[in-house]
Amino acid sequence: MSEPPLSSVTGRAAAAASAAAPARDAVPAQPSFAALRHRGFRIYFVTTAAAMMADNIEHVISYWVMFEKFHSPALAGFAVLSHWLPFLLFSVYFGAMADRFDSRRIIQVAMLMFMVVSFAWALLFFTDTIEVWHAAVLLVVHGMAGVLWAPASQVLIHDIVGRENIVSAVRLNATGRQLGVFLGPGVGGALMLLLGPAAGLVVNVLIYLPLTWWLWKAPYGADRRRQGATARSGGFADAVGTLREVSGNRTILSMILLAGVSSLLVGNAFQAQMPEYAQDLGTEKADFSYAVLLGANAAGAFIGGMILESGGLLRSTPRTAIVLTILWCMSIAAFAATASYPVAVALMFVAGFLSLAYGSMAQALVQLEAPAHLRGRLIGLFQMSNNGLRAFSGITVGLVGSLIGIHWSLALSALVLLVVTAVLLAFSMRTR
């Protein structure tokens, strides 16, 4: 299997020189599913997939109840805004925390926050006392838990598998999370139908426990790595300083930029609007078709990850990531325009495949190019760009959609991103 072309970071003393070096054309081939050779990663892969499934079970149930009770595109847009805005504000800070503190404990705190939010939803649904401000508060807390989890998770998998298998680990970690996203709608829909929203969310709390429990004794945490970390603020000033330190590395900068523009203009805002898309497509059972659309997107990502990991079909290069993003734009625009439910399901599958491919590729390139003493901060910076800027896709797709219609808003956002990404590709080819 071919692996990404990357420069080698030999230590802090050579960080500036390696940051200026371009990515190499090839690295030694590695076996398929290389990261799964590590027992610790196998456990983390399964428990993380379960936790992500629980995350999406909560989304499926809470989004559907909010849609039925309030019928508010603005609230759905706020769900996107509140979920991703914490990534914009706190990703670098929590990335700096992962440089200095035990990433296992950080993830455990995030899991506890997720469990509290699911139980709170359950209580409000059981008593039928849910109000808009309740939903807003819980959505914000859920978003904070997500941003706390993300950088620490990437740092932990690097500690588990090391640099030599990090590309495989990043892709498999993303694939496992997508497995959770794929299973979430089906399991969430089944829990909602069999037990009701409140009881379903109580059961959901228990699904977070395996990962939380395993992390107590997991023999990782990388104290050796944090010995070189410096105590810095982790705020926006730190983000600017970190960018300056790697300003000569075009791979890192281009991948952070690519993640940022795709998240800013489209992101995954269409998922919060999925109940309305399902209803507009004219299906008889909107609740079932809504779950199928979400499941198709996740299935495409999961199957794509498995194919890419086993077959080595795509070399991880900045240009490949940009081309995949362009194809993703086309699939999202086509989804917004179609009036056929089967075509919409197929397009969601394709979009999931492409999203996993370019997203994991960009993440892996940043981690491999990052100097060791800046790894947590650069992961946080990537998360801020990749996830934080999705907050504003809630405006472009959600809030604008309440004015001109969600189909028009999504299609226009995807086409604008297509133009921007094409310009980035042309720039990449010119500066090659």
Distances, alpha carbon 324 to alpha carbons 26, 230, 297, 320, 344, in Å? 20, 36, 16, 6, 19
Where does the pLDDT of residue 277 fall: very low under 50, low under 70, confident under 90, or very high at 90 and above?
Answer: confident
Higher-pLDDT residue of 217 and 237 is 217
pLDDT tens, position by position, 306-350? 888 876 667 778 888 899 999 999 999 999 999 898 999 999 999
Is 50 exceeded by the pLDDT of residue 1?
no
Write out the two tokens for 303. Answer: 């199957």
Q: Nearest Cα to 149, choosing from 208, 232, 66, 229?
A: 208
Computed over every residue of the chain, the mean pLDDT equals: 80
Q: Is the pTM of this model over 0.85?
A: no
Q: What is the pLDDT of residue 28?
A: 44
Round to whole Å and give the CA distance between 128 and 403.
30
Is 80 exceeded by the pLDDT of residue 405?
no
User: Which amino acid, residue 324?
Assistant: L
Q: What is the pLDDT of residue 12?
A: 39
pLDDT tens, position by position, 407-420? 888 888 899 899 98
Round to whole Å and give the CA distance between 271 and 278.
11
Is 60 exceeded by the pLDDT of residue 373?
yes
Q: What is the mean pLDDT of residues 232-236?
A: 56
Is 80 exceeded by the pLDDT of residue 71?
no
Lowest mean pLDDT: which of 135-139, 191-195, 244-248? 244-248
Sorted by sequence, the CB contacts under 8 Å of residue 238 that are 6+ apart come out as 92, 93, 96, 232, 377
Round to whole Å and give the CA distance between 257 and 261.
6
Where does the pLDDT of residue 84 fall: very low under 50, low under 70, confident under 90, or very high at 90 and above?
Answer: confident
Round to whole Å and give the CA distance between 383 and 95.
9
Q: What is the pLDDT of residue 7?
A: 39
| DSSP assignment string, 384-404 | IIIIITHHHHIIIIIITHHHH
For residue 111, the surrounding DSSP H or E stretch is: helix 103-127
Lowest mean pLDDT: which of 101-115, 218-232, 287-301, 413-427? 218-232
pLDDT tens, position by position, 127-180? 888 888 888 899 999 989 998 998 899 889 888 887 778 888 888 888 888 788
Is 70 exceeded by the pLDDT of residue 35?
yes
Write out the two tokens for 278. Answer: 């399902």
Lowest mean pLDDT: which of 7-11, 114-118, 392-396, 401-405? 7-11
Residue-range domains of the chain with CATH: 33-215+246-430 (1.20.1250.20)
Please state, for a pLDDT cut of 70, what percent of the chain lies above it: 83
Q: What's 22's DSSP letter?
A: P
Higher-pLDDT residue of 233 and 18 is 233
Classify the C-alpha dihedral 256-257-259-264 as positive or negative. positive
Q: Where are the alpha helices (DSSP H) in 162-249?
A: 166-194, 197-207, 209-217, 223-226, 236-245
Round to whole Å and give the CA distance between 393 and 388.
10
What are the φ/ψ torsions at residue 230 (nearest 5 degrees)? -100, 150
Q: Is 431 exposed, middle or buried (0-12, 13-18, 19+ CB in 10 A)?
A: exposed
Where does the pLDDT of residue 54 fall: very low under 50, low under 70, confident under 90, or very high at 90 and above?
Answer: very high
Round to whole Å and give the CA distance between 353 and 347.
10
Where does the pLDDT of residue 27 fall: very low under 50, low under 70, confident under 90, or very high at 90 and above?
Answer: very low
Asked if 177 and 50 count as a contact pair (C-beta separation under 8 A), the reply is no
Distances, alpha carbon 37 to alpha carbons 1, 40, 169, 303, in Å? 15, 9, 10, 20
3-state secondary structure of 1: coil
Where does the pLDDT of residue 284 fall: very low under 50, low under 70, confident under 90, or very high at 90 and above?
Answer: low
Is 50 exceeded by the pLDDT of residue 21?
no
Asked if 248 and 20 count as a contact pair (C-beta separation under 8 A), the reply is yes
Where does the pLDDT of residue 376 fall: very low under 50, low under 70, confident under 90, or very high at 90 and above?
Answer: confident
Helix 73-100, helix 375-383: angle, nearest 10? 180
Q: What is the pLDDT of residue 11?
A: 40
Give the count of alpha carbons within 13 A of 359, CB side only.
Answer: 25
